[in-house]
Amino acid sequence: MSGNFQFDTRPEVDVIVYRHRADCRFVQKEKDGRCRCPKHLYVRLTRARISAKTKSWETARQRAKEWADNHDPVILREKAREAENAITPQLIEEAFDEFIASKQAASSNPDGYKATESKYGTMKKQLVDFLHVHDQGKPDPERVLYVHQITAPLLNQWMGTWKSKTYWSKSKKRDSTIAFFDYCIAQKWIKATLEKDRGNPARGIAKIVGKKDSSIPTLPFTPAQFKAVLQACAAYDRSLATVNKAEVRGKGRRLHALCNLMRWAGLAITDAVTLQRSRLGKDDRLVLYRTKTGNPVTVLLPPKIADELRWVPPGPDAHPDYFFWSGKGKKNRAASTWQKTLRRLWKLVKPALDLRDREGNRIRPKSHMFRNTFAVELLKKSVSVDHVAMLLADHPDTVKEHYYPWVPELQDLLEKEVKRSWDEDLPIILPDVDDALQRTVGQA
């Protein structure tokens, strides 16, 4: 009866002599200190009588305390919590292997196996190599062999050794590191905590700082390429013949509108995907952002584009305040869903997109190319660098540096200016060339 009883508070347990032996001389309560009869535990609340399996008062009292401890709800909860938080030390390399295996098991795409293995396999090797150097010459207790020994400062040191130069690859790597340690926590190789980082040491890695834009090739679409991308949007739904139709109804049209929005407003994908309807005025002006002083910076959309956006068919989880977004969850998340859609779209473009960076290396299309197209097409039409910079919320120097190389007309003018300066035997002063360039463009 007492075994399964759940006590709300610590049970009170007395030691009693249930029945004195016939020859006991200490049967009176006030004199029973020397009684050597078998002792019992008496649980007051349940009135249970349990043999203490001893004749000694002292031992019986000790057992009463133990019994109370074993049924004390506060102590039981604490024990359960400790058991819950108990970790199994796991070697770093083995932890990585299990993590990679679980990623692969969870993936429905066998082609993804290789990419996963290579991404996390590289990470594993880099961390293990780093720790190998770190551990060298250190006494055993200071060596880091298990995942639970890895700290945020150590990971920061590790990050200092990352060779990848770009913002994007570093911040992706940081995300992958966080994912790995989240897995370790779920496996109870690392203790989960109530801290903000939940005990994940990778969340303590310094946020990657850097200019996002500087590392992205600023390639625009040519007008013909952009047209082909829009045509591919029209073919998008048909390419999805095998998937649930209701889910994707109107997806191609939404995609078409989104591509146009990015191309004609210069918005980056996250801003475009989460754009509020209230930002588009009846006069087809779209508020891009507000300056620090609160003034709206607007761009005028071509009427056809503005209308397409207004009447974009809502997605399955659309929120009436937004063109494309449900308004729920993180904005980045919404953008990455559309990035996936775009990756599918690129494959549908005919003729296939042949994109090269400035060194002539093949590159994959990116959503940012719509924004680049917006900027370059404006520059080609002689809109001033200052104005383009304002629309992009970028610095004019950045715009010059990134977009001029893609506008052959501006390049030609620049060269002509340089050649003219040879004829006139004048020294070349670059800011003057820039001014001349501006003036010439203005007259064109």
**Chain residues in the site for Zn ion (CB under 5 A):** 20, 24, 35, 37
Pick between residue 63 and residue 263 the one whose CB is nearest to Zn ion. Answer: 63
- Under a CB-based contact definition with an 8 Å cutoff, are residues 278 and 321 in contact? yes
Pick between residue 55 and residue 188 the one whose CB is nearest to Zn ion. Answer: 55
- Under a CB-based contact definition with an 8 Å cutoff, are residues 306 and 280 in contact? yes
Pick between residue 35 and residue 267 the one whose CB is nearest to Zn ion. Answer: 35
Pick between residue 63 and residue 256 the one whose CB is nearest to Zn ion. Answer: 63
Please state the closest distance from residue 61 (CB atom) to Zn ion, in A. 16
| Interatomic CA distance for residues 185 and 87, integer angstroms | 9
Please state the closest distance from residue 17 (CB atom) to Zn ion, in A. 5
Please state the closest distance from residue 53 (CB atom) to Zn ion, in A. 16
Query: What would the two tokens of residue 288 be?
Result: 């891009």
| SS3 state of residue 302 | coil
Collect all residues with Cβ–Cβ distance below 8 Å to 2 and sequence separation of at least 6: 43, 46, 48, 50, 71
Please state the closest distance from residue 57 (CB atom) to Zn ion, in A. 11
DSSP code at position 405: G
| SS3 state of residue 332 | helix
Pick between residue 37 and residue 297 the one whose CB is nearest to Zn ion. Answer: 37
Burial 354-377 (b: 16+ CB within 10 A, else e): ebeeeeeeeeebbbbbbbbbbbbb
Pick between residue 32 and residue 135 the one whose CB is nearest to Zn ion. Answer: 32
| Interatomic CA distance for residues 139 and 143, integer angstroms | 7
* Placement of tokens 């030609």 in the chain: 412
Please state the closest distance from residue 22 (CB atom) to Zn ion, in A. 10
Q: How far is CA 211 from CA 121, 170, 171, 177, 272, in A?
A: 28, 12, 12, 21, 20
Please state the closest distance from residue 59 (CB atom) to Zn ion, in A. 15
- Under a CB-based contact definition with an 8 Å cutoff, are residues 180 and 99 in contact? yes
Please state the closest distance from residue 62 (CB atom) to Zn ion, in A. 19
| Interatomic CA distance for residues 131 and 149, integer angstroms | 11
Cβ burial, residue 137 (10 Å; 0-12/13-18/19+): exposed
Please state the closest distance from residue 191 (CB atom) to Zn ion, in A. 51
Pick between residue 39 and residue 251 the one whose CB is nearest to Zn ion. Answer: 39
Query: What would the two tokens of residue 199 be?
Result: 């005990």
- Under a CB-based contact definition with an 8 Å cutoff, are residues 147 and 189 in contact? yes
Please state the closest distance from residue 68 (CB atom) to Zn ion, in A. 24
Pick between residue 36 and residue 143 the one whose CB is nearest to Zn ion. Answer: 36
* Placement of tokens 């006069």 in the chain: 283
Pick between residue 30 and residue 283 the one whose CB is nearest to Zn ion. Answer: 30
Sheet of 13-16, strand order: 13-16, 40-43, 48-51
